[in-house]
Amino acid sequence: MKKICLLIFLFSYEVKAQWIDWCVPDHFYNFQELEKLYPYITRITPDPDLIDIRRPKYETNPEASFCKRPMEMLDTVVFHHSETASSWTPEMINALHLERSTNNDPWYMIAYSYVISSPYRGETLPVPEVAQGRPLDIVGAHAGGESYVSMDEIQTKLWTEGKVTCGKEGGVFQVDPDLLRNGKIKANVTTVGVVITGNYAPFSKLNPLGYKKDNPRNPTQETLVMAAKMSCQLQKKNPRIKKIGWHSQYKATACPGTIKNYISEIKTIAKGYGCEFN
C-alpha cells in the first residue's frame, strides 16, 4: 500500500487530492495538522469520513466578483431551506443563483457552501445526499448582504492583515473596505451557508410554494443526522466553528421555516459525533 501511495504522490496535483483520501490515516484529518505536514496541498484538505460529500462541477460566472477568506475566519454554520421543491438538485440551485445579483453585482455561483438534498418527513424522495456548493474558502451569498457581525481577535487580525480579498476569476484580488461597517464584518464572511432542499415555510404571498397551514413540512430524522454530521465535520476541520444558526437570525426572512425548530436537536445529535456547538 505504501508503495502505491508513493507512486500516486509522484503524479499530478489532482491525483494528489485523491492520494490524501486513500493514504492519509484518519487521525491526520485535522486541518492544522495537515497544513503542517503537507503545506503544498492545504487548499484540498479532505473531509473526514463522517459524511460523504458529492462534488458537482458547477458553472461559474467569470464576470462576477467574489471574495476569498482563510478558514480561520469561519465561526458559524447557518442553516437555510432552498425555498424550492425538495427535488431541486445543487446544479439547479446553481443555475438559479447565476441569474441573481446584489446591487447589480452578479453572483459568482451557488450561494451556499453545502447542499443537503433530502425528502420531507413522510416522503421518500429525493434520495438523501450532501453536495459541496461554493468552495469553503470563497465567501458565500446566503446570510443577507446587509447583515454584519462582530469579529473576535483572530478574525480582526486576519482582516487587518488583508487576508480577506475580493476580485474576479483570473484577476487581481484586493481588500474590499465595503465588507466592513462600523467595525463589523459582513456575516457572509464568517459563516458557512448550509441549505436543506425544500420549502419548509408556510404558504404566503411571498412564499407561494410554502406548505398549507394545516399540513406543515418537517425534516426527516435522517436529514437532521446529515445536518449534524455536516456541522460536526466542519468543526473537526476547523475547531473555530462553534456556532450553529439559521437564516432568520441574520435577516427578516421565513427561511429556514420549521427547520429552525430542530436546530437544538441538530446540536444534540452533533454531540454524539464528538462536537460541541453553542
User: Which residues in this chain contact Zn ion in the complex, by CB under 5 A?
Assistant: 80, 247, 255
Give ∠ CA 59-61-64 in degrees, rounded to 5: 150
Kindly give, in sequence order, each residue whose CB lies less than 8 Å from that of residue 179, ignoring residues fewer than 6 positions away.
67, 164, 166, 185, 186, 189
Q: What's the closest the beta carbon of residue 86 comes to Zn ion, in angstroms?
A: 15
Task: Decide whether 69 or 260 has the Cβ nearer to Zn ion.
Answer: 260
Task: Decide whether 236 or 247 has the Cβ nearer to Zn ion.
Answer: 247
Q: What's the closest the beta carbon of residue 135 comes to Zn ion, in angstroms?
A: 20
Q: What's the closest the beta carbon of residue 142 comes to Zn ion, in angstroms?
A: 6
DSSP letter string, 7-32: HHHTS-HHHHHHHHHHHS-GGG--HH
Task: Decide whether 23 or 138 has the Cβ nearer to Zn ion.
Answer: 138
Helices (H), the chain: 2-9, 13-23, 31-37, 90-97, 153-160, 187-190, 221-237, 263-272
Produce one character per residue of 101-114: b if its CB has 16 or more CB atoms within 10 Å, e if not. Answer: eeeeeebbbbbbbb
Task: Decide whether 226 or 255 has the Cβ nearer to Zn ion.
Answer: 255
Beta-strand relationship, 243-246 and 76-81:
parallel
φ, ψ at 257 (rounded to 5°): 60, -140
Q: What's the closest the beta carbon of residue 254 comes to Zn ion, in angstroms?
A: 9
Q: What's the closest the beta carbon of residue 101 comes to Zn ion, in angstroms?
A: 17
Q: What's the closest the beta carbon of residue 194 comes to Zn ion, in angstroms?
A: 10
Task: Decide whether 30 or 249 has the Cβ nearer to Zn ion.
Answer: 249
Beta-strand relationship, 76-81 and 191-196:
parallel
Task: Decide whether 24 or 189 has the Cβ nearer to Zn ion.
Answer: 189
